[in-house]
Amino acid sequence: MSSEKSIMRRNVVYKESCLSGLEKMGDETVDLIFTDPPYYQYRAKNIKGLKNHKDVVTEFEFDEFKSEEDYLKFLEDVIAACYRISKPGASGYLWCGDDYVSYINRIVEKVGFQFRKVIHWHKTNPFPAIYTRKMFANSMEMMVHFSKGSPKTWNHKPVNEMHNFIESPICMGKERRAHKTQKPLKVCIPYIEISSNPGDLVLDPFMGSGTTAIASLMTGREFIGFEINDKYCDIIAKRFEEFLENSSTIFEGKYPEVIHSKVKADKSGK
């Protein structure tokens, strides 16, 4: 599907599966991918010695994969679709658990991206380990940086901010929403600013609580996202309302919104 035939509107979160939504997007239309997919955390739920230890196995409603193989195949399909719609030189950032970094590195290379670096987020106030005598608190999350060829956009910040390591508390206070894995804006905005320019299009296939959209709006970027959970779509819509109430940004008819009804693909554009 060419970019001219794409029917996806900017500054919209669509309530639908990301795979069906990505099919409707035109080739080479996206400047940056920034996303936080499910981590697949059912791995140890049947191990007797870990029963009821939520610091070891955190069961989220969006982790519904039947096996590790299904999970990795799903990620590969999404990342391959992202490759098609990314412009040459576009960058991508994908959050992941530490035990899947090597898998994801191989997947991004397999579909055609170049793996660039793993970024480490140190959570300064992580949830404590329940069984502290035999378990460390999980205070790190990873983000894989990749690109379609050499990155076209690379906006340097001060040298001490150009590290593959960032420290921040988990999402707290007024920013916090009813989403268990919400990322704070502080660990998203710097990378969006480095790898895109104002007016660029940022894609998030797993919009969750809408942090990528809010970060894009705050930095003058536009976005397209997908989210299948009604509860999270309502959270995103509320965040848009709050942003518009407190913002002086002029959107020129492109106000952010959540569209709950699915949009049919324009088959003639393929």
Nearest to 227 by CA among 17, 8, 19: 17
CA distances from 193 to 32, 69, 199, 265 (A): 10, 34, 11, 31
Q: Which structural domains are found in the chain, ordered by start?
A: 3-269 (3.40.50.150)
Contacts of residues 111-115 at CB distance under 8 Å and 24 or more positions apart, as own/partner, are 111/76, 111/79, 111/80, 111/83, 112/80, 112/83, 112/148, 113/79, 113/83, 113/146, 113/147, 113/148, 114/146, 114/147, 114/148, 114/149, 114/150, 115/144, 115/145, 115/146
- State which of 32-41, 82-91, 119-128 shows the largest mean pLDDT: 82-91
Mean pLDDT of 144-151: 98
pLDDT at residue number 127:
78
Instruction: Give the pLDDT band of residue 150 (cuts 50, 70, 90).
Output: very high
**What pLDDT is stored for residue 234 in this prediction?**
95
Selected residue with higher pLDDT from 188 and 54: 188
> Residue 270 pLDDT > 90, yes or no?
no
End-to-end, the C-alpha distance of the chain in Å comes to 4
Say whether pLDDT at 145 is over 50.
yes
pLDDT in the model for residue 161: 94
Average pLDDT over residues 69-81: 96
Gap between the Cα atoms of 44 and 57, Å rounded: 6
Express as a percent the part of the chain with pLDDT over 70: 81
Question: CA separation (Å) from 39 to 11, 34, 74, 143, 167?
Answer: 26, 15, 11, 12, 21
pLDDT of 261 reads: 54
What is the spatial distance between Cα 68 and Cα 39, in angstroms, rounded to a whole number? 10
pLDDT category at 67 given cuts 50, 70, 90 is confident
pLDDT of the residue at 196: 98
- pLDDT band of 55, cuts 50, 70, 90: very low
> 26 pLDDT exceeds 70?
yes
**For residue 209, how many other CB atoms are within 10 A of its CB?**
26
Average pLDDT value for residue range 68-97: 96
| pLDDT at position 267 over 60 | no
- State the chain's mean pLDDT as an integer: 85
Mean of the pLDDT values across residues 25-52? 74
Lowest mean pLDDT among 21-30, 47-56, 183-192: 47-56
